[in-house]
A and B are shown apart, each in its own frame.
Chain A
Amino acid sequence: MILLAELFISFFLVAFVSFGGASAVIPELFRIAVIEHAWMDARTFTELFAIAQAAPGPNVLIVTLIGQHVDGWQGAFWATLGMCLPMSLLVGLLFKHWDKLQHWRGRAAIQLGVAPMAVGLVLASGALIARSAEPGLLGLLLLVLTIAVNLKTKLHPLWLILLGGVLGLTGLL
């Protein structure tokens, strides 16, 4: 009961700073799950991240998996709800006044100002996950290859994930 409340409240609070979506706050999710509450070790966190990437659906599934690992389906439910609820309510309320906000300078200022912060956060998330995986030389090559292919081609990301899984099985990364 207390555990479920902790899951809900932790992710409820994270939602308020997750500009750029769940991918942007992975370092904070790590801090909560591994350091603050010691719900899991660093390796488990990284592996749950990998599963979330491979599964269909929004990136917020990393939160579902953390909750599931901590306290089964109920943990998954409360963690996911905590992450999704605050901004869903805000979007619902805000949307009714959206037309009025179109010409408000603050809206444009927020939009322009938040974007670079989201960029910094998302890049930091990617870098920290890559570091926590402790890749060898071939692993680094796979990382760089993924970035290049994803930026330069329209290849579906699922193929890259498949490649990562297969190369991982060889144990060379």
Chain B
Amino acid sequence: MPAPQISESVTKSTPTPAALFFGFSRVGLSGFGGVLPWARRLLVETEGWLTAEEFNVLLGLCQFLPGPNVVNLAVAVGVRFCGWYGAVAGALGLMLGPFLIALLLGLLYDKYGELPAIQSMLHGITLVGAGLIIATGLRMGLNVKNRWVYWPFAAAAFVGITLLHWPLPAVMLGGAALTIALSWYRLSQEAKA
């Protein structure tokens, strides 16, 4: 089966920049603890701007690039339909509401952050937040293909950063150079076989 071609498929409707802005605004403001499910709901289910297959392809692109994944996704969707105007509209819509709320929360924190009750509450939320991130990492780990080949690299990165205190950019770039070279080699072998 050929890979889905983004430019040639037919979807239900084509958004304007304004529609992109308001659509992604809803996504940003609904996204407690993870925005991606809401982005999928908007793009595939509610508005039908993308087919499910197209969404997966786009998400794949946005997740293998660095940077905030869902901002990347808003840019990719926006640029597809409305060029750079659409990219700005999508990203701005996604970020504006949460940005303003974060500003407000930051101001409140500057004012009341020293109160013992607030600190105890944030302490509890920190632990839950750490747990949610660990759970995300584990879920991502289970989705890694050929896990016995690649898990040792994940483990090495983990140990390097947490126990050996290696600088993160060096770990990421050095490690990624090795893993990408390895997967390139494995793909070449598969192509020959």
Chain B residues near A94 (CB, 8 Å)? 61, 65
Candidate in B110, B124, B150 with the most chain A CB atoms within 10 angstroms:
B124
Bound-state Cα–Cα, A161 to B129, Å: 7
A140-173 vs B, Cβ < 8 Å mask (1 yes, 0 no): 0011111100110000111011011111111101
User: Closest CB-CB distance, B180 to chain A, in whole Å?
Assistant: 3
B172 touching A117 by the CB < 8 A rule?
A: yes
Closest chain B residue, CB of each to CB of A68? B106
Candidate in B29, B125, B182, B187 with the most chain A CB atoms within 10 angstroms:
B125
Chain A residues near B1 (CB, 8 Å)? none
B95 touching A80 by the CB < 8 A rule?
A: yes
B101 touching A56 by the CB < 8 A rule?
A: yes
Chain B residues near A158 (CB, 8 Å)? 32-33
A56 touching B31 by the CB < 8 A rule?
A: yes
User: Closest CB-CB distance, B36 to chain A, in whole Å?
Assistant: 9
Q: A87-B72, A88-B72, A91-B75 are in contact. Are A115 and B101 (CB under 8 A)?
A: no
Bound-state Cα–Cα, A161 to B127, Å: 9
Q: A68-B103, A95-B79, A157-B34 are in contact. Are A122 and B68 (CB under 8 A)?
A: no
Bound-state Cα–Cα, A125 to B76, Å: 27
Chain A residues near B130 (CB, 8 Å)? 126-127, 129-130, 133, 143, 146
Chain B residues near A119 (CB, 8 Å)? 137, 140-141, 144, 154, 157
B131-143 vs A, Cβ < 8 Å mask (1 yes, 0 no): 1111111111101
A123 touching B134 by the CB < 8 A rule?
A: yes
Candidate in B60, B62, B143, B157 with the most chain A CB atoms within 10 angstroms:
B157
User: Closest CB-CB distance, A13 to chain B, in whole Å?
Assistant: 8
Name the one of B121, B122, B176 contacting A19, with C-beta atoms under 8 angstroms: B176
User: Closest CB-CB distance, A47 to chain B, in whole Å?
Assistant: 5
Q: Which A55-111 residues have a C-beta within 8 angstroms of B?
A: 55-61, 64-65, 68-69, 73, 76-77, 80, 83-84, 86-88, 90-92, 94-96, 98-99, 102-103, 105-106, 108-111
Q: Is B35 an interface residue (CB 8 A)?
A: yes
Q: Which B1-51 residues have a C-beta within 8 angstroms of A?
A: 3, 5-7, 28-35
Closest chain B residue, CB of each to CB of A18? B66
Instruction: Give the bracket for the number of chain B residues in contact with chain A.
Output: 35 or more
Candidate in B29, B122, B141 with the most chain A CB atoms within 10 angstroms:
B122
Bound-state Cα–Cα, A28 to B138, Å: 20
User: Closest CB-CB distance, A8 to chain B, in whole Å?
Assistant: 15
Across chains A and B, which 10 residue pairs bring their CB atoms closest together, nearest first? A168-B124, A57-B98, A120-B157, A87-B67, A146-B131, A157-B33, A164-B128, A113-B180, A53-B129, A126-B134
Where the two chains meet, the residues of B that have a C-beta atom closer than 8 Å to any C-beta of A are 3, 5-7, 28-35, 60-62, 64-72, 75-76, 79-80, 84, 87, 91, 94-95, 97-99, 101-103, 105-107, 109-110, 113, 117, 119-141, 143-146, 150-151, 153-158, 160-162, 167-169, 171-173, 175-176, 178-184, 186-188, 191
Q: List 23 A-B contacts (CB under 8 A).
A: A15-B66, A17-B173, A19-B176, A20-B66, A31-B168, A47-B109, A52-B102, A53-B132, A55-B102, A57-B28, A80-B99, A83-B68, A88-B71, A92-B79, A99-B7, A110-B183, A117-B157, A121-B171, A128-B161, A130-B134, A133-B130, A150-B132, A158-B32
